[in-house]
């Protein structure tokens, strides 16, 4: 108790509102004083034109680029593969594929003779590398800052994206290697960004800042889907290779801007106002040592809640991200090169939802309508249960293309609620170790990236029909529900005790001395 009072009496707040070990341990008036101090944004701090939001803009476009370079392959592979050869390898006579849309062109002349398993391997190879650098990236970002890791990860991915057409035309094995290396480079991006927001995001702005940043994921998908389709159908830079050249070049340009302007910590920012710097630092702990409490993290129920949820959420999301273009083309018979916006529409509504839910969640917390724990669980449940229902519904509407896209759009709309659910929860539990926690949970979340395309390939290889895709949707829906239940039972929005091992030895001795005197 004395230690807690010491923390509150110092000039800087060691613990934000949700960092209090438990509010019933403190006098109610003391809690209200702390809350009023944290909730009030002082003059000169600003929001949309502040230094912390400028970091958000930079990171937003970083993830925009990251996902354009992920999605382009999902679309380009439809033009890369010789569909006549692919059909010849599937011996089952499919009777329930939808009739072709009136404007569908007959594209069969891809230059690569890959079967369904090879396609699944190409789409999933990225994640074999992606899983390797999650935890190391989180550790390094939490210890040294996320600027170099995030910028370096995107730069590595951009350069390898530029080499993808050459690799594909050289050999299938080389293409797989390039995709794995892309994953290794990009694996640090989410942990690095969480580490950045662990240093930059005030307590009551965590939802909106993380949601705004990761909204770049959805906008990148929205742009990359139709643009990649148009480029593949054109003669620009040889057709499908242009989808890799253009987005790779844009990624390199962003990296230059990021390295010049981004900073690891607010104190390193040259244009931040004194008021904003003081405001941000009043929400952060002061620390002179760095020791990761690995055992405590491994035994933490809230960390396991995020890990399980991350796995379950990504199963459904990656199923859609990597396989939706194939579903639209093979089952609903959309022409992606002409109807690219249709494939992008679900991610457009997700982008809108992502930004709205972050703002709403923080307002709910600021007004004390719900605690942080309750807010995270409510939004997370909606992010998993509602999409489960809409995915199953999409499997039952047959060849009604409008309803199918509408149902999938509703599913992705609600999945974006996760950006007010489990996604910022790492920072709630431990601002200083947010990068490490994201590395751990995203390691689990990466597994669906290479497993779900294989499952889809196995279920649809010899029978790419709406009936087989219904199984795909059922599996994703069931996994979504499991994630929702686990998070409800195990999740928490309260900062964990092991986050406070960051106090320096001198500060610990001073705290002990005060306790002894009292």
Residue 21: CB atoms within 10 Å: 16
Question: CB of 394 within 8 A of CB of 404?
Answer: yes
Rounded to 10°, the helix 189-200/206-233 angle is: 150
Give kind and range of the element (H or E) at residue 65. helix 51-80
- The residues near 219 (Cβ < 8 Å, ≥ 6 apart) are 60, 64, 347, 351
As a whole number of Å, the end-to-end CA separation of the chain is 10
Tokens, residue 79: 């033009």
What pLDDT does residue 508 have?
46
507-516 long-range contacts (CB < 8 A, ≥24 apart) are 507/286, 507/288, 510/6, 511/2, 511/3, 511/6, 514/2, 514/3, 514/5, 514/6, 515/2, 515/3, 515/6
What pLDDT does residue 16 have?
39
Global pTM reads: 0.80
H-type helices in 367-433, by residue range? Answer: 372-396, 401-415, 425-429
Please name the fold of domain 47-84+116-266+290-512.
Growth Hormone; Chain: A; (1.20.1250)
What pLDDT does residue 499 have?
86
Measured distance CA(147)–CA(166) in Å, rounded: 30
Measured distance CA(396)–CA(76) in Å, rounded: 28
Question: CB of 154 within 8 A of CB of 251?
Answer: yes
What pLDDT does residue 344 have?
79
Tokens, residue 502: 């960051």
259-264 long-range contacts (CB < 8 A, ≥24 apart) are 259/147, 259/151, 261/54, 261/58, 262/55, 262/58, 262/59, 262/147, 262/150, 262/151, 263/55, 263/147, 264/144, 264/145, 264/146, 264/147, 264/196, 264/199
Q: Which residues pair with residue 120 across a beta bridge? A: none
What pLDDT does residue 107 have?
53
What pLDDT does residue 510 have?
42
Give kind and range of the element (H or E) at residue 60. helix 51-80
CA angle 349–78–85, rounded 5-degree value: 150
Tokens, residue 180: 């794995």
Tens digit of pLDDT for each residue in 298-333?
999 999 999 999 999 999 888 876 677 777 777 877
H-type helices in 187-300, by residue range? Answer: 189-200, 206-233, 241-261, 274-281, 294-298
Q: Which residues of the chain have pLDDT under 50?
A: 1-34, 36-38, 91-92, 502-518
Where are the domains positioned within the chain?
47-84+116-266+290-512
């Amino acid at each position: 108790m004395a230690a807690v009072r010491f923390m509150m009496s110092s000039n800087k707040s060691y613990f934000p509102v949700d960092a209090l070990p438990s509010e019933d341990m403190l006098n109610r008036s003391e809690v209200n004083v702390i809350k009023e101090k944290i909730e009030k944004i002082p003059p000169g701090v600003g929001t949309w034109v502040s230094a912390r939001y400028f970091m958000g803009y930079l990171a937003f476009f970083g993830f925009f680029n990251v996902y354009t370079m992920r999605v382009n392959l999902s679309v380009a592979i439809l033009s890369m593969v010789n569909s006549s050869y692919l059909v010849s390898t599937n011996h089952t006579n499919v009777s329930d594929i939808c009739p072709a849309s009136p404007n569908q062109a007959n594209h069969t002349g891809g230059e690569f003779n890959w079967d369904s398993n090879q396609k699944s391997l190409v789409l999933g190879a990225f994640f074999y590398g992606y899983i390797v650098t999650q935890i190391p990236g989180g550790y390094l970002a939490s210890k040294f800052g996320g600027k170099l890791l995030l910028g370096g990860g995107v730069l590595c991915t951009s350069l390898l994206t530029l080499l993808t057409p050459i690799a594909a035309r050289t050999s299938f094995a080389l293409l797989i290697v390039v995709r794995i290396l892309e994953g290794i480079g990009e694996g640090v991006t989410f942990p690095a960004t969480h580490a950045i927001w662990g240093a930059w995001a005030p307590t009551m702005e965590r939802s909106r800042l993380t949601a705004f940043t990761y909204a770049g994921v959805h906008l990148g998908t929205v742009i990359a889907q139709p643009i990649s389709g148009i480029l593949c159908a054109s003669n620009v830079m040889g057709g499908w290779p242009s989808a890799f050249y253009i987005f790779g070049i844009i990624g390199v340009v962003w990296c230059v801007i990021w390295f010049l302007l981004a900073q690891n910590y607010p104190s390193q920012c040259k244009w931040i106002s004194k008021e904003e710097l003081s405001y941000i630092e009043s929400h952060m702990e002061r620390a002179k040592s760095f020791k990761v409490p690995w055992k405590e993290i491994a035994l933490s129920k809230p960390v396991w809640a995020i890990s399980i949820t991350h796995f379950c959420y990504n199963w459904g999301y990656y199923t859609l991200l990597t396989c939706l273009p194939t579903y639209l083309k093979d089952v609903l018979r959309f022409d992606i090169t002409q109807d690219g916006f249709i494939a992008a529409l679900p991610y457009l509504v997700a982008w809108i939802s992502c930004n709205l839910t972050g703002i709403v969640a923080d307002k709910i917390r600021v007004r004390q309508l719900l605690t942080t724990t309750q807010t995270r669980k409510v939004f997370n449940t909606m992010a998993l249960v509602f999409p489960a229902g809409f995915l199953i519904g999409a499997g039952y509407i047959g060849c009604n293309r409008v309803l199918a896209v509408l149902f999938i759009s509703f599913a992705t709309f609600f999945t974006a609620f996760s950006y007010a659910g489990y996604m910022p929860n790492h920072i709630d539990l431990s601002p200083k170790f947010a990068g490490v926690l994201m590395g751990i949970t995203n390691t689990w979340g990466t597994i669906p990236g290479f497993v779900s395309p294989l499952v889809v390939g196995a279920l649809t290889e010899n029978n790419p029909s709406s009936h087989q895709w219904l199984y795909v949707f059922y599996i994703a829906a069931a996994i979504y529900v499991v994630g929702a239940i686990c998070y409800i039972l195990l999740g928490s929005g309260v900062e964990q005790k092991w986050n406070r091992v960051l106090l320096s030895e001198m500060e610990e001795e001073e705290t002990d001395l005060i306790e002894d005197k009292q």
